[in-house]
């Protein structure tokens, strides 16, 4: 199936450089691979249940969203044990060390992704409910 996306020029340039560096045959193949990785990551988070220990990292434009982010983090203080914050130019990087029900950590992750001023949210499950 053919489709189109609106993607900033800088991101396309970085993406093209990355797939070429890895020796991938073409952009379409690279996009398919990136989509598979996204689906696998999503599935792992969705399929996890029970108590988890996780690190949630995200970056954002401080001045655009800080008040709303703090409000969201307060909603999930039952699973957020510790936070770390650092400045990277106009962007801030925050890490949340979490422990609790997988569903709450998943909700927190999806909530953070709702903000336009949040660029990326990455989750590392350190211990999932099966361990």
Greatest alpha-carbon span in the chain: 46
**Superfamily classification of domain 50-128:** ACT-like. Chain A, domain 2 (3.30.70.1150)
Do 69 and 62 contact (CB within 8 A), yes or no?
no
Do 69 and 119 contact (CB within 8 A), yes or no?
no
The band of 129, judged by pLDDT with boundaries at 50, 70 and 90, is low
The tens digit of pLDDT for each residue in 49-102 reads 899 999 999 999 888 888 888 899 999 999 999 999 999 888 999 999 999 999
| pLDDT of 131 strictly over 80 | no
The tens digit of pLDDT for each residue in 8-25 reads 899 999 999 999 999 999
Calpha distance 93→61 (Å, rounded): 9
Beta bridge partners of 125: 54
Domains of the chain by residue range: 9-43, 50-128
């Amino acid at each position: 199936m053919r489709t189109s996306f609106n993607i900033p020029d800088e991101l396309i340039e970085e993406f093209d450089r990355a797939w070429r560096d890895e020796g991938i045959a073409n952009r379409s193949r690279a996009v398919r691979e990136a989509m598979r990785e996204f689906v696998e990551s999503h599935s792992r988070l969705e399929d996890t249940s029970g108590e988890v220990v996780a690190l949630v990292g995200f970056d954002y434009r401080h001045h655009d969203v800080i008040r709303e982010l703090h409000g969201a983090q307060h909603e999930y203080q039952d699973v957020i044990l510790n936070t770390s914050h650092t400045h990277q130019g106009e962007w801030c990087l925050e890490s949340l060390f979490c422990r609790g029900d997988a569903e709450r950590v998943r909700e927190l992750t999806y909530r953070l992704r709702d903000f336009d001023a949040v660029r990326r949210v990455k989750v590392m499950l350190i211990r999932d409910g099966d361990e």
